[in-house]
Structure formats: structure tokens, C-alpha cells
Amino acid sequence: MIYFDNVSKLYSAGAAALEDVTFTIEPKEFVSLVGQSGAGKSTLIRLLLAEEKPSKGKVFFESLDVHNLTSSEIPFVRRKIGTVFQDFRLLPTKTAFENIAFALEAAGKDDAEIAADVPHVLELVGLADKSDYFPHELSGGQQQRVAIARALVNRPEVVVADEPTGNLDPLNTWEIIRLLAKINELGTTVLLATHDKDIIDTIGKRVITFEGGRVVRDEKRGRYIL
């Protein structure tokens, strides 16, 4: 489903952010990308989303070469990849419902679909009763759930979460990790970038470890070893 083929990324200044990175992710996998700050995790995600181009190698998403797409194929691919970030990235003047509806509008969905689909994903993330709340009226953990609902609403093939618990306390951290595990159990591939040792050691799923832009370990039931 996702294939990085000998990918390197050099920014204009400095050392390689990624170097000779090769791995494959199969549908329905839950994969953690682990590494200290600066190890290259966010760069990898930006390459997958076609926000940056590799300096060398190729990135494939469902057999499409991500950096060789037509301008109409790029939004098609991005819609198949739901994204969640550390800082939530919700629109502050829109309610939870409207934030999620916005992602459906951008994908060209009509009002009937929006009215049906938004309550469904709010229910899935446990926020059915917070539909009309603005981000500032929600806790950090609740805001991240809205962001996850927004990432899911277009039924992506994969959810990519870049340090999704970085701004959360331990209780909310575990609720978000449990939610990502549930989404995975329901059939969506999950890619989780984190440097949280407790999360990695508890999940018991595949871990790809990065050091200085290189893959140093790729283990089926990995642990946090840096």
C-alpha cells in the first residue's frame, strides 16, 4: 500500500533528513515510526503527502508514484490519507461539526452526505454530544478527537498521525492511542510517528526506528530502543 524505495531527502542546507530509506506498509497494518526529534519522521510524512519531493528514490501509494502524479491525482491521493498533527489544526471559528463538515465540502460532498456522515464520525470518536462546541470550549484530548474525526470522514485508506499526543496529558494520550487502535481494528491502516517510549512499549505492533534519517530497526512487535 505504501512503499518507500531507497528514498533520500536532502534539504538545501545540512545533512540528509532521510537516507536510503526502504520499507513497505501493507493494508490494515498499525506501524509506529520512532526516532528522536530530527530523525526524519515528519520529512517522511511530507514526502508521502507529496508536500516535498525526494532527492533520490521513489514513494508509492497504492502503486501510484506519489511524485509523478497529475494535478488532479494529487488531491485524490491526499484524500485517501487522513492526517492528524500534534497541534490539532482545527479552525477556531468553526464548531466541531463545521470543522469536520469542511473536509467533506472540500471533497465535493453534498449537504445530505454531510448531515449523515459528520454525526457518524463524531459518534465514533466519542464526541456525539460536543457537535456544537468550538475548539476553545473543548479539552486538548477532545480537540484531537475532532481532528481524528475530520481525518476519518472521507474514509481514507490510511491515517497518518504525527506526534498526535505531543500536547496531551497521560490520560488523554491513552484515549487517543486507544482510538487509533480502534480505527485500525475497523480496517484503516495507521501510521503513528512518536517519540513516546511508553506508547511504543505498550502497543506491541510493528515499529520502524529512525536515527539520523536512516532506518536502524524494523520489527514486527517492536520496542522503544534508541
Applying CB under 6 A, which residues contact ligand ADP? 11, 14, 17, 35, 37-43
Of 39 and 191, nearer to ligand ADP (C-beta) is 39
- Looking at the Cβ atoms of 14 and 92, the one nearer to ligand ADP is 14
Q: What's the start-to-end Cα distance of the chain, in Å? A: 27
Tell me the closest approach of the beta carbon of residue 15 to ligand ADP, in angstroms. 7
Side chain identity at residue 85, one-letter code: F
8 Å CB contact between 84 and 148: yes
Q: For ligand ADP, give the closer residue by CB, 39 or 66.
A: 39
> Least distance from C-beta 45 to ligand ADP, angstroms?
8
Q: Considering the complex, what minimum distance in angstroms separates the CB of residue 43 from ligand ADP?
A: 3
Give the nearest distance from C-beta 195 to ligand ADP in angstroms: 8
Nearer to ligand ADP, 35 or 222 (CB): 35
User: Which amino acid, 79?
Assistant: R
How far, in Å, CA of 28 to CA of 83, rounded?
A: 16
Residue 17 or 127 having the CB closest to ligand ADP: 17
Closest distance to ligand ADP from the beta carbon of 67 (Å): 17
- Cell numbers 488523554: residue: 172
Pick 40 or 156: Cβ nearer ligand ADP: 40
Judging by beta carbons within 10 Å of its beta carbon (0-12, 13-18, 19+), is residue 75 exposed, middle or buried? middle
Q: Which is nearer to ligand ADP, 39 or 138 (CB)?
A: 39
Spatial separation of the C-alpha atoms in residues 45 and 3, rounded to whole Å: 12
Q: How far is the CB of 130 from ligand ADP (least distance, A)?
A: 30
**Residue/partner pairs of 117-124 with CB below 8 Å, 24 or more apart:** 117/153, 118/149, 118/153, 121/149, 121/150, 121/152, 121/153, 122/96, 122/97, 122/149, 124/149, 124/152, 124/183
Q: Which residues pair with 48 in a beta bridge?
A: none
Rounded least distance, CB 11 to ligand ADP, Å:
3
Residues in contact with 43: Cβ distance below 8 Å, sequence separation at least 6, in sequence order: 9, 17, 18, 52, 213
